[in-house]
């Protein structure tokens, strides 16, 4: 219901504005044909209308400041600019350090596992009764594949 009221008031304001533009165009076209007394009266009416015009309302805009969630950082918006925020610095640094140490630990674990698998394979090859040249023979590889099924 408010939408209809707002739309009708908007439409009315638009119609009034359009009428004012039409009057202005008509006066501009016929200004040279008007007598001087009429031009003077129109000028006085314009001055009176401008004097009665309501002052324009000042519009304020709110611009949010970008920040990290949960960090109050003073005027600049930078959490590292205030020396009192040492806990923020530690709170960011500790997870990064843990992440680097964790990645290094995972790398070391995987390397040890790969080395153990290779050592196991080497031990199995060396303890087998076949000579090493048999593993290099392509025909032997084919033989193993056929008989392994």
Query: In this structure, what DSSP letter does residue 57 have?
Result: P
User: pTM for the whole thing?
Assistant: 0.35
- Average pLDDT in the 91-120 region? 95
Could you tell me which residues come within 8 angstroms of residue 134 by beta carbon, excluding any fewer than 6 positions away? 140
Among 5-14, 33-42, 54-63, 133-142, the range scoring the smallest mean pLDDT is: 5-14
**Cα angle 129, 131, 135; round to 5:** 110
């Amino acid at each position: 219901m408010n939408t209809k009221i707002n739309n009708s008031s908007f439409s009315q304001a638009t119609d009034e504005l359009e009428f004012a533009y039409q009057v202005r165009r008509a006066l501009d076209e016929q200004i040279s044909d008007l007598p001087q007394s009429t031009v003077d009266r129109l000028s006085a009416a314009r001055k009176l209308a401008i004097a009665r015009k309501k002052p324009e309302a000042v519009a304020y805009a709110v611009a949010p400041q970008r920040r990290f969630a949960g960090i109050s950082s003073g005027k600049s918006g930078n959490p590292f600019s205030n020396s009192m925020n040492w806990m923020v610095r530690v709170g960011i640094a500790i997870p990064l350090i843990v992440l680097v140490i964790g990645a290094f630990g995972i790398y070391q674990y995987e390397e040890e596992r790969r080395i153990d698998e290779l050592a196991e394979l080497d031990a199995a090859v060396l303890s087998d009764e076949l000579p090493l040249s048999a593993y290099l023979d392509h025909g032997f590889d084919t033989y193993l594949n056929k008989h392994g099924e």
